Structure 1
Amino acid sequence: MIKTVIFDMDGVIVDTEPVHRYAYYKQFSELDIEVSEEMYTSFTGFSTRNTFQTLKGHFPTITLEVEDLIQRKRTIFNDAFDTKEDLYLLEGVEDLIKDLYASGIQLILASSASKVTIERVFSRFNLHQYFTDLVSGEDFPQSKPNPAIFLHAASLSKAPKENCIVIEDSTNGVLAAKGADIFCVGYNSPHSKMQDLSASDLIINDFKELNAEKISQLGA
């Protein structure tokens, strides 16, 4: 029986991708580099650090240190996030979160986003009350598909790993969950383009397909 649900954030709980995209491409312009759509899509699920480490490998003209690149991107993102009014939780996810919480199922966040971004999202939508732990990808040397973030999240569960599930919307996130040997629900998010969820144990198109009762029986 499932006792703990580990949520990704971007594309699962909230769609901050347009804000990230704006921040990254403004910075790409400042750096005078051209990043293709295919390359940008491949970064889905990456932490900002891993994204810039990869970009520095591709573009020798980027001479700034990774830390400086991260800080600049964070500044652009935070300014845009704070002024963006049309930012909402994804349809159906708040009802699911409340249902799981009311049913006594533990909720943990495991997101590639920075702690600052997670805090901004959780404060804006008053989500702290539902989650026991918030895990940020910035604390891990390697991003998803490396399973480290999910292995750590599962270690925070009050139940064994086999009583946990992950809800993910990206190729890298699904691969990370399966690499951690955790049952994975792939959410076919309308906001996450060109993602391969085929390695998931279950794929959903709408959060209405899930509730606490159904989730508790997954992986049985």
Structure 2
Amino acid sequence: MTTAIIFDMDGVLVDSEPVWVKVEQEIYLQCYGVHLDDEDFKDSAGIRIDKLLTEHHHRHSLPLEDVPRRVEEIVTEVGRRIQTHPQPMPGVVELLETIQQHGLPIVVASSSPRKQIARVLDALNISHYFSHQISAEGMINGKPHPAVFLRASEILNVNPEECIVIEDAVNGMVAAKAAQMKVIVMPAPEACQDKRFGLADVQVNSLGEVWQAIQQLK
């Protein structure tokens, strides 16, 4: 029996993944003259920003002590752009309304920093749908480790097996399955043929298909 729905944020509630990539590319070009390419962002979706930037710095032999400053700059600029031009994923309000009407608690569990989660949900005017906003910020391990999802089930006081996670990324899907939760994946169009998504319980193409998938898994 399903008792709670857990949403990832970036790429599920808001079309923000391209914004993150663009801002990182601009800042690294400006600060270091480094062109971040597709290889730098391979399998980066769902990864906590501090971990991703640490990988950038190792890959391009950049000072590791700069990572916290770059994190702050990137998070601030991404938040500013989303607030200025919010891009909710199509069908997000309708889906949240449907879930709420059926009495299922809804939480967001994201790799984004706490302030960023609040900023984005407010910009989209959907924060009132979520009973809790849970960030992997400050946790020892981010996705693909299950910690952020296990924290969500703990806060809700429900068993992990009773939760359904809505994810768009391989890292998030792996984290949810490691937490013993059911997973609905909605990959970006360019990633939908990735065979690794076969690990998910259901794969959908849009949020418009998610409620039917939830009913299927309940």
How do 1:1-220 and structure 2 match up within 5 A?
A: 1-29=1-29, 30-83=31-84, 85=85, 87-190=86-189, 196-211=196-211, 215-216=214-215, 218=217
| Separation in 2, partners of 1:51, 1:178 | 22
Q: What SS does the corresponding residue of 2:70 show, helix, strand or coil? A: helix
| Cα deviation code 1:125-155 (max 9, x no counterpart) | 2222211111112132322111111111121
Q: CA deviation at 1:82?
A: 3.6
The answer to whether the Cα contact below 8 Å between 2:118 and 2:133 also exists between their aligned partners in 1 is no
Identity over the aligned pairs, expressed in percent? 28
The answer to whether the Cα contact below 8 Å between 2:83 and 2:120 also exists between their aligned partners in 1 is no
| Cα deviation code 1:94-149 (max 9, x no counterpart) | 11111111111010101111112211111112222211111112132322111111
Instruction: Give TM-score, length-normalised by structure 1.
Output: 0.88
Unmatched 5+ stretches in structure 2: none
Name the structure, 1 or 2, with higher relative contact order (CA <8 Å, separation 6+).
Answer: 1
Structure 1 residues 106 and 20: CA distance shift in structure 2, 3 A: same
Tell me how large the CA RMSD over aligned residues is.
Answer: 2.2
Unmatched 5+ stretches in structure 1: none
Instruction: Give TM-score, length-normalised by structure 2.
Output: 0.89
| Cα deviation code 1:146-165 (max 9, x no counterpart) | 11111111212243221111
| Separation in 2, partners of 1:36, 1:27 | 13
For residue 206 of structure 1, what is the amino acid of its counterpart? S
Q: What SS does the corresponding residue of 1:185 show, helix, strand or coil? A: strand
Structure 1 residues 192 and 163: CA distance shift in structure 2, 3 A: same
Structure 1 residues 154 and 185: CA distance shift in structure 2, 3 A: same
| Cα deviation code 1:32-69 (max 9, x no counterpart) | 22333022132111111111222222222335432112
| Separation in 2, partners of 1:214, 1:203 | 8
| Cα deviation code 1:158-195 (max 9, x no counterpart) | 43221111110101111111111111111133386785
For residue 178 of structure 2, what is the amino acid of its counterpart? G
Any runs of at least 4 consecutive aligned residues in structure 1 with deviations exceeding 3 A, and if so which? 189-196
> If each structure's helix is expressed as a fraction of its own residues, which one has the higher value?
2
